[in-house]
Structures are given as C-alpha cells and as structure tokens.
C-alpha cells in the first residue's frame, strides 16, 4: 500500500502544481482531468487493497457522475460559495472531460501490470 500512497502524493502535488502555476489550458483542462482518475484510484488503493477492476470502474463512474452533475449545474442548485469546493465539483460541463477520465484508466492498467509483473 506504500506504493499507492507514494503515487497518490506525487499525483496530488502534480495536480496542485498544474492548478497553482496556471499551465497551458490543455494541461490544466485536459491532462489534469486525465490524472484525476489515477489520483482517486491510488487514494482508494492506499486505504485498502481492492479489486483493481472494481475500483477503476467505481472511480470512472464517480468522475462521470460529477461531470454529469456539472451539466445540471449542481454547484448553482446547491448554492455553493466556497471556492475550493467549487474547484473540486467543477462549474461547467465539458464532454472532453469524459474522454480525459476514460484515458485516465490507461496509467492504472500500466501500473497494475507493472506491479503485478514485479511480484513474480
């Protein structure tokens, strides 16, 4: 589980840096969304080792649900004023985010295969 904690911390620092330093919109808007899937996956796996396929599916469904909630303007409906919460929930729907989240599965598959092969 230490590997997942390390991966989580590295991805969290990367996500914070992307947001703080206002990188190019492609990096902030797309790559940041790609990285959020392995970030959430590694967080879950650092708490307890779960079935990789089930966690990947759950994380992806969660990300899709948040994006769909953005489509229905959930932040406005709930009258969320806190800037940090607004950043996490997001403020606008972007169908490209769904692609980014789906692509975020690829690093998970790579890492899980790499870790599995390392155990043999």
pLDDT, tens digit (0-9, with 9 covering 90-100), for 47-92: 998 999 999 999 999 999 999 999 998 888 988 888 888 877 877 8
Hey, where are the domains in the chain?
Answer: 2-119
Q: Does residue 96 contact residue 30 with C-beta atoms inside 8 Å?
A: yes
pTM confidence score: 0.85
Which of the residue ranges 24-28, 38-42, 48-52, 101-105 would you say has the lowest mean pLDDT?
24-28
Q: Is 21 helix (H, G, I), strand (E, B) or coil?
A: coil
**Element spanning 83, H or E:** helix 83-89
74-84 pLDDT, tens digit each: 888 988 888 88
CA angle centred on 98, ends 116 and 5, rounded to 5°: 35
Query: What φ, ψ does residue 24 adopt, rounded to 5°?
Result: -45, 150
Identify each DSSP E strand in 28-102 by its residue range: none
Instruction: Tell me how far the alpha carbon of residue 97 is from its chain's centroid.
Output: 11
In this structure, what DSSP letter does residue 120 have?
A: -
Q: Does residue 66 contact residue 89 with C-beta atoms inside 8 Å?
A: yes
Which of 99, 88, 75 is CA-nearest to residue 39? 88
């Amino acid at each position: 589980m230490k590997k997942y904690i390390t991966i989580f911390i590295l991805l969290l620092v990367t996500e914070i840096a992307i947001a703080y330093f206002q990188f190019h919109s492609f990096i902030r808007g797309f790559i940041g969304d790609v990285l959020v899937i392995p970030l959430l996956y590694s967080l879950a796996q650092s708490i307890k080792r779960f079935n990789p396929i089930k966690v990947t599916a759950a994380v992806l469904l969660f990300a899709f649900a948040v994006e769909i909630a953005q489509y229905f303007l959930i932040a406005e409906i709930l009258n969320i004023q806190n800037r940090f919460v607004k950043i996490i929930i997001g403020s606008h729907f972007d169908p490209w985010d769904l692609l980014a989240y789906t692509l975020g599965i690829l690093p998970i598959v790579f890492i899980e295969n790499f870790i599995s092969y390392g155990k043999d």
